[in-house]
Structure 1
Amino acid sequence: MSGQPITQVVIVGGGTAGWMAAAAISKIMGAFPGLSIRLIESEAIGTVGVGEATIPQINQFNKLLGVDEREFVRETHATYKLGIEFVDWTRLGDRYVHPFGFYGIDMLGIEFHHFWLKGRELGDTSRLDDYSIGAMAGKANKMFWPQPDQPNSPLARLGYAFQFDASRYAGYLRKLAEKQGVTRVEGRINGVEQDPESGHVTSVTLENDESIAGELFIDCSGFRSLLLGQTLEVPFNDWSKWLPCDRAVAIPCTSAGDREPLTRSTARPAGWQWRIPLQHRIGNGHVYSSAFMEDDAAIELLLANLDGEPLAEPNRLRFTGGHRAKNWEKNVVALGLAGGFLEPLESTAIHLVQAGIARLMAYWPTTDFTPTEIARFNAETERDYVDIRDFLVLHYKATERDDSEFWNYCRNLEPPDGLKDKLEMFRSSGRVIREHNELFTETSWLSVMACQGVQAGGYHPAAGLLPDAELLQRLGHVRQVISQAVSQMPTQEEFLASNGSAIDPGQRITA
């Protein structure tokens, strides 16, 4: 081993990213002799904290930390999430669910959707949603544990994540991290010191003149990117030509309407609106492009489309879609907004933090900070951003909407190369390609392409091996089995109550 083991880790910034890093590093590396982990945050500096929806990978993170799921759900006032419902994206009045899990069941060794495509050719009018236990259960407000030990049950193919209060999640992780030896330092940073030869950050200075020295610095300072962007001057790769939304306004409201285990994304004239039902309230936000809508109009539109009464003043955010050219430079690693931002359309923000932490653990440095591992970290991180970017762009590109200048711009976008290849493949043969084990699976790509009007140019020839009548019968049987399974599942409210995850009714905020 070259270099000496790292013994001083300093995390700059709290919030979800900072406390995720603190909890994970202290869990994995906490027993290392002499290791000190300090997290600096100031109560005077607010966090973005509007991201409340996740994807199934968070289950792996929570299991790594030894989190009790029932306690976690209660403490964060969480609900379950089986997918994302997209409303008005293809055209006004249309809706579909991008589910977690899978569609149908593969046949003859071929992916299920090829048989669905053949069925459509034969006149079957069923939608992809009908073949997903996640989509159908979500729309029916049903929830139950996946049953991987029952391979013949649709529940074996169910995936789930959570919708929670991000500030409560950060607080929950803080308790775990501090129990594992992390020291929290209160204060604002007003100075950063660097080694004059290497340029490495050596310490940060607080307003009270206290100096906090470190060997490895983790930048979780949000959009400011205090260490990676401001101090080390790592440039930002701007992707706004593909992701034109650059503003958001968030407003929580009282609980009202349904509480389906789904995040809802409703397309608006210059962007989209999120709706995230938690146990105690509903999270809402409007993501939009300032080139096509004024701020006041965006807020007015959001307020006009709340299910309940507003609980706070609008929280306005400005951002640029993209990422830092490197997320690891010298002895600074950026996580979360300090390293980049991709709008929350597919709830990937927390996952990118999680992926960055896992990657940092894999390439945990010594005091030599060898360039080979750093270069690998940066290449893999950039690939994550590119893959997610391409999937987000698909939602805007694949639309029939022509009712606003914004949607005309999006519909006519020249897609990035990776997305262009996937679209060409699907339009050619109905095949869905997943590159290098990327985050979004074939189910995800199929869901958005097929449900937002991208026409498949064919299907796998093996789908023609089944007689037409048998193929249609099999499709009907899959729909029937899923429908029957959903009918037997408890509602989400019943599920939360029965497993001890429900909050006290007095904590719910209603009009």
Structure 2
Amino acid sequence: MQSVRKVVVLGGGTSGWIAAALLKKVLGPVVDIDLIESDDIGTVGVGEATIPPIRLLNNVLGVNEAEFLRETKATIKLAIKFENWRVPGEGYYHTFGAPGKSLAFCHFHHLWRRAQQLGDTTSLWQYDLNYLCAEAGKFASINSKDPVLELPYAYHFDAGLYARFLRKFSEQMGVVRHEGKVSGVTQHGNGDIQHLVLEDGRVLAGDLFIDCSGFRGLLIQQKLNTGYEDWSHWLPCDRAVAVPSERFEHTLPYTRAIAHSSGWQWRIPLQHRNGNGLVYSSSHYTEQQAAELLLSNLDSKALAEPKFIQFKTGRRRKQWHRNVVSVGLSSGFLEPLESTSIHLIQSGVVRLLQLFPHQGVTEALVNEYNRQSQIEFEQVRDFIILHYHVNERTDSPFWRDVRQMQVPDTLKRKIQLFAENGSLFREQNDLFLESSWLQVMLGQGIVPKDYHPLANSYSEAQLKQMLQTMLAIKRDPLDKLPSHDEFLRRICAA
């Protein structure tokens, strides 16, 4: 075994620069890091919406939030609004918050469900501060020790600007960037990667290689042939078309995911423009039909020609093989429905740091990394399948097909438990909390038949008073918060 002193990152973009920045920040002088990037190779660049763990990444890197918001043209994200998913004309939110306040052995939604059976018509989301702020278009950090008033948030940002931001940050720490394209790869006798040869003849050696070469998987697949686990029988969308448009007058603090007859459309608000795209099935739409559908459903004027992307949902069978770790699109792809693309980059690098092969790559380290990666990808996969499978749409073969398909047993069990009595159990290390599963289950039309018996420990009068008090507590901060746009103006001017 050879100790790892030199790490070579193949590919820039969001994945390459997150990997380089985080490895260098945490490991410092323990490793030298080179990154190979070509300005001639474009990036997919659709990962403009994130989830709250992105803030942990920025905090570890020591990123100033105001500077980050300015340089990446970022906005705040409190939730995703799903429109037309259960049935056309209906919508619901998946927020980063949680409704009400749970008891020790009984989640809040059981109290709400009992109240419903007693005749209460208040929506569960009315007890969610993230929802209330999203609907009102308001935001500011709330300094309160009361968990009921927590306002978790993430960001929308320009992925290209974020990569540029991290590049500057990384180079200041000592990461060395090499402009160019790889023309050859040499291997040791045991199959490990030894050198990357650039088109101009430069040769870069490394002890560990991070493959951030996108869908091509230049090292992990083209050289090491690790294979791919195809999940398109569960997630049949295999294309996307994206186009930027002019920004709105008022910037929404949430992402919109709008279902169409054979796919869905995203709308992501940034400070300088809006990101738009359509994820669709090529078995149901031609490229021309997809482009026309997207362009006819923009809220503002298009700023460029539509850009098409092909993909296959699934994952590499070995996301770490020999001395190559795949990160980002080279490791697998799950459509951006729940904004997990950048998080999977982040968690892949964090996992590598936790299992970093200081004295050399070993089978135990590789196996554990791959085990954890598989579990994470499968858990995210199940959550995305849930949105498609549980629907009541009858307007197209696409929705009928996904409703009738056989889903993974892990997802089937979750649906059955929740439908019986509202039970939700978070799997170990599941990215999505119980409140996330709750909102999507309810939003897609699964209403529990029963509730936890602890909800009966209150009289009807006590339950009614408790819920009224909770509504008032959740609504109290709204009048004190600035609009989302006012918040952005203030912090970006700081």
Q: TM-score range with shorter-chain normalisation?
A: over 0.9
Letter in 2 for 1:356: G
Instruction: Check whether the contact 2:255–2:267 (CA below 8 A) recurs between aligned residues.
Output: yes
Whole-angstrom distance in 2 between the partners of 1:186 and 1:27: 22
- The alpha carbon displacement at 1:160 in A equals 0.3
Alignment of 1:101-140 (within 5 A): 101-107=97-103, 109-140=105-136
Give the Cα–Cα distance (whole angstroms) in 1 for the partners of residues 359 and 205 of structure 2.
14
Matches within 5 A, 1:245-394: 245-256=237-248, 258-366=250-358, 368-394=360-386
Residue by residue over 1:403-462, the C-alpha shift from the partner in whole angstroms, topping out at 9 and shown as x without a partner, is 011111111121111111101111121111111131000000000001110121211001
CA offset at residue 8 of structure 1? 1.2
Of 176, 180, 183, the match for 1:183 = 176
Q: 2 CA distance for matches of 1:332 and 1:437?
A: 24
From 415, 423, 432, the counterpart of 1:423: 415
Match of 2:480 among 479, 488, 491: 488
**2:232 aligned residue (226, 236, 240):** 240
Q: Name the aligned partner's letter for residue 373 of structure 2.
A: T
Q: Is the 8 A contact 1:52 1:165 kept in 2?
A: yes
Deviation at 1:69, TM superposition (A): 0.7
C-alpha distance in structure 1 between counterparts of 2:184 and 2:191, whole Å: 15
Q: How does 1:70-109 map to 2 (within 5 A)?
A: 70-107=66-103, 109=105
Q: Which amino acid aligns with 2:472?
A: Q
Give the unaligned 5+ runs of structure 1. Answer: 503-511
The answer to whether the aligner puts 1:16 opposite 2:9 as a matched pair is no
Aligned ranges 1:432-471 → 2 under 5 Å: 432-471=424-463
The RMSD of aligned alpha carbons is 1.3
Question: SS state of the match for residue 252, structure 1?
Answer: strand
Distance of aligned partners of 1:148 and 1:387 in 2 relative to their CA distance in 1, 3 Å threshold: farther
Contact preservation (8 Å) 2:328, 2:341: yes
Q: 1:149 aligns with which of 145, 148, 168?
A: 145
Checking the alignment, whether the CA contact within 8 Å between 1:215 and 1:367 is kept in structure 2 is no
Q: Who is 2:398 aligned against? A: 406
Give the letter aligned to residue 241 of structure 2.
V
Please give the alpha-carbon distance, in whole angstroms, between the structure 1 residues aligned to 2:438 and 2:475.
21
Distance change >3 Å, CA 227–CA 108, structure 1 → 2: closer
Distance apart, 1:243 and its partner CA? 0.5
- 1:77-123 Cα offsets, whole Å, 9 max, x none, are 00000010111111111111101021111246521010011111111
Distance in 2, matches of 1:38 and 1:23, equals 11
Query: Which SS does the other structure have where 1:264 is aligned?
Result: strand
Paired AA for residue 192 in structure 1: V
Matches within 5 A, 1:11-90: 11-32=9-30, 35-90=31-86
Q: Distance in 2 between matches of 1:304 and 1:127?
A: 32
Would you say the 8 A contact 2:3–2:360 is kept in 1? no
Displacement of 1:494 after TM fit?
1.3
Distance in 2 (alpha carbons) for counterparts of 1:86 and 1:473: 31
Pair 1:396 & 2:392 matched: no
Report the CA distance between 1:257 and its aligned residue.
5.3
Shift of 1:30: 1.8
Shift of 1:487: 2.7
Deviates more, 1:366-375 or 1:247-256: 366-375
Q: Distance in 2 between matches of 1:118 and 1:150?
A: 25
Distance 2:442 2:266 in 1: 22
CA displacement at 1:358 relative to structure 2: 0.5
Structure 1 pair 304/201, CA: closer, same or farther in 2 (3 Å)? Answer: same
User: Deviation string for 1:60-91 (max 9, x for gaps)?
Assistant: 10011000011101110000000101111111
| Distance (Å, rounded) in 1 between the aligned partners of 2:361 and 2:144 | 42
| Structure 1 SS opposite 2:383 | helix
Q: Which amino acid aligns with 2:11?
A: G
Find out whether 1:211 has 2:172 as its counterpart. Answer: no
Length, aligned pairs only: 494
In structure 1, how many angstroms separate the alpha carbons of the residues matched to 2:297 and 2:258?
10
Contact preservation (8 Å) 2:250, 2:485: no
Deviation for aligned residue 1:381: 0.3
Cα distance between partner residues in 1 of 2:476 and 2:16: 44
Q: Does structure 2 retain, via aligned residues, the 8 Å contact 1:247–1:319?
A: yes
Q: Which ranges of 4 or more aligned residues in structure 1 deviate by more than 3 Å?
A: none
User: In the TM superposition, what is the alpha-carbon distance from 1:4 to its structure 2 partner?
Assistant: 4.4
Aligned to 1:505: none
Partner Cα distance (2:175, 2:360) in 1:
24
Task: Indicate conservation of the 8 Å contact 1:71/1:501, yes or no.
Answer: no
Q: Match of 1:229, SS?
A: coil
Equivalents in 2 of 1:104, 1:67: separation in Å? 32
Secondary structure of residue in 1 paired with 2:221: helix
Letter in 2 for 1:290: S
Q: Secondary structure at the match of 2:276?
A: strand
Distance in 2, matches of 1:395 and 1:126, equals 23
Once residues 319 and 9 of structure 2 are traced to their aligned partners in structure 1, the CA distance between those partners, rounded to angstroms, is 15
**Alignment match of 2:4 (pick from 3, 6, 12):** 6
Which residue type is aligned with residue 284 of structure 2? F
More displaced, 364-373 or 292-301? 364-373
Unaligned ranges ≥5, structure 2: none
- Whole-Å Cα distance in 1 between the matches of residues 217 and 492 of structure 2? 40
What CA distance in whole angstroms lies between the structure 2 residues aligned with 1:225 and 1:76? Answer: 27
Q: In structure 1, what is the Cα distance between the partners aligned to 2:44 and 2:320?
A: 22
Which amino acid is the alignment partner of residue 77 of structure 1?
Answer: K
Counterpart amino acid of 2:77?
K
TM-score scaled by length of structure 2: 0.98
On the 8 A contact 1:41/1:187 being kept in 2, the answer is yes
- Matched residues, percent identical? 46
Normalising to structure 1: TM-score of the pair?
0.95
8 Å CA contact 2:51–2:340 kept in 1: the answer is yes
Q: Deviations over 1:265-306 (max 9, x none)?
A: 000110100000001110000000111211111110000011
